[in-house]
Structures are given as structure tokens and as C-alpha cells.
Amino acid sequence: MAPTVDYTATSDSAFTNSLEHAYFSSDKPTFFTNIGCPFAQRANLTLLEGNIPFHRVEIDLQNKPKWYNSEVNPRSKVPAFRDLGDEEILIESAILSEYLAEKYATSLIPATPKLRYLGRLLADVQSSAPPIYQLLKIKSDTPEGLAEENAVKAKLLASIKEFTAVLAQGSVEGPFFLGKNVTLPDLITIPILTRTVWLYEYFFGDKLVPDTPEFARFWTWFNALTERPSFKQSFPGVEKLAEGVIKRGFGYVRPGAEKKRQAAVPQAQPAAFAAA
């Protein structure tokens, strides 16, 4: 399910402060994003799950408009958000997502201080893991490279094991972090973890996280979130992500990975490997 894009901005796009211009909406908040960015997806999911109307401006991150840094986000990143009736641009995905939930969708906020603590702990565990790109770009054709690759794999899996334990603290049965309803900690953590799980499968041809009882709670959570319309609408597909990784030199497909993927039955979330 492709997202509705109100405007796509590249380096050739001119800028105007006029609220009548396509960049800014006069009747909806304006959301600057990129379909491939996991951090932007956090805020995108919050907007969609909160049923918050917004004007979407897609920023080409490899060919950013010249005005984006000076006029929208000095850090030159997405997401960025301008609320209706407010000239200030809000930035940083986790902080922005919390702002959106507090202002527009309080049902997404965990109900008690203890649950909010657990939600922040869940996000902290996820953020402490090595980025998947660190693993994908390791050259494992030497003993040293293979040892490094195995060490990073072990760290990633250990992090997901810890993440699974915190999921169970929130709710033993799930499917979501705190039970039957999606909350902000789900939306903050799923974008990075989908890239970790699915890009690993794409580049290595097998699973990083095994289908074992130890990780059953993780897979219940992962599959429930990635099946939601909000996720499908805000995710570009693994093929497109992998193309970007290879193009920018952030990773390479291991020999035999494609054959392994094709032979895998069942394959985790096969629909995710097609572009939305």
C-alpha cells in the first residue's frame, strides 16, 4: 500500500514561506519525511495510528532540496513537522512521536508511570543494539572478517533476546507490547527492528532470530505490527531498502543468499520483500 504523497521535494525544488505553497498546508499539519527512513517511519506510524490528518512532503535524502537545511531542519534530517497554526518546525523522531501522541492521540501513551518506564526501557534496549548496516558491510572472506561478523551477529541476537524479555514484562500474551492495543513504544521500536530482521534475511539468506520458543513473544509482536495497515503504508519494501544499501556501499549480498531465501519455507513475511 503506497503512501499518499502530497509533494515530493528534490534539489531542484524552489522554496517559499507562503502557507499557500504546496510545501505547507493551510488546513493540516505538514510532515517532512522519507519512505525509506526508519526514524521518519516512527512519526509516520504515530500519525497514522493516531488518525491525525497531515500534509506529507517526501524529501529525497540523496538529492535534498537546497532550502531544507536552512528553512526546515538545520540537522538536515527527517522527520520534521510543522503543526497547524505554529511556525516552529519540530524535529527528532522519538520526541516528535511523543509530542504527536500527547497532543492528538493520548490512547497511544502507556497509562501508568510504570508502563511508561517499561516503554522507555524497551526503546533503550533496541537503540543499544549495533545497527544492521554495521554487520552488512563487514567483509567476511578472511578469518578476521568472519570473526567480526559472528561477533556482531551475536550482539544483535543478544539485544533481541533482551528486547523479548522486556516485551514479556509489558504483556506475556501480547500481541503488542502492552497487550491488545498498539502504544507508542511499539511504534518507536518496530521500524529499526524490521530493518534488522528483514535486511539480515535478504543479505544472508537465513534468519537472525530463530523460530524457537525463546523468541515466540518477539515473533508474535513483530508479525502483529508488520501486518497493520499503518506499517504497510509507511514501509517501502525490503527490495527497495536493499537496493539503497547496496548503492551506497553499506552492505553486500552474501554468496548463496538468494537461493537460501527462495528455498526457505515458510519465509518470514514474504510480502515485505516486495515494494509497497
E-strand ranges in the chain read: 7-9, 30-33, 55-59, 80-82, 89-91
Mean pLDDT for 60-66 is: 89
| pTM across the whole model | 0.90
Contact by Cβ (8 Å): 234, 31: no
Distances (CA, A) of 70 to 11, 14, 64, 67, 219: 13, 13, 12, 6, 42
Q: What length is written for the chain?
A: 276
Residue 265, Cβ density class (10 Å: 0-12 exposed, 13-18 middle, ≥19 buried): exposed
pLDDT tens-digit readout, 185-202? 999 999 999 999 999 999
pLDDT tens-digit readout, 210-250? 999 999 999 999 999 999 999 999 999 999 999 999 999 99
Kindly state whether residues 47 and 173 are assigned to the same domain. no
pLDDT tens-digit readout, 64-93? 988 888 889 999 999 999 998 888 999 999
Distance CA 180, CA 173 (A): 9
pLDDT of residue 17: 43
Is residue 264 very low, low, confident or very high in pLDDT (cuts 50, 70, 90)? low
Tell me what percent of the residues of the chain surpass a pLDDT of 90: 78
149: its cell numbers: 561478523
Mean pLDDT for 109-118 is: 98
Residue 269 located in a structural domain: no
Mean pLDDT for 102-118 is: 98
Calculate the dihedral angle through the C-alpha atoms of 20, 61, 239, 214, rounding to the nearest 10 degrees: -100
pLDDT tens-digit readout, 137-187? 999 999 999 999 999 999 999 999 999 999 999 999 999 999 999 999 999
Residue 77 belongs to domain with CATH number: 3.40.30.10
Range of the domain at 254: 110-264
Q: Which residue, of 58, 83, 106, is where some domain finishes?
A: 106
Q: How many domains does the chain have?
A: 2
Residue 202: CB atoms within 10 Å:
22
Q: Which residue, of 91, 106, 121, is where some domain finishes?
A: 106
Kindly state whether residues 154 and 79 are assigned to the same domain. no
Residue 33 located in a structural domain: yes
Distance CA 261, CA 257 (A): 6
Q: Is the peptide bond before 266 cis (omega within 30 degrees of 0)?
A: yes
Residue 215 belongs to domain with CATH number: 1.20.1050.10
Residue 230 located in a structural domain: yes
Q: Which residue, of 52, 81, 106, is where some domain finishes?
A: 106
Kindly state whether residues 170 and 258 are assigned to the same domain. yes
Distance CA 93, CA 127 (A): 13
Kindly state whether residues 118 and 249 are assigned to the same domain. yes
> Hunting for cell 515458510 — which residue is that?
266
Contact by Cβ (8 Å): 234, 48: yes
Pairing between β-strand 89-91 and β-strand 80-82 as defined by DSSP bridges: antiparallel
Kindly state whether residues 122 and 240 are assigned to the same domain. yes
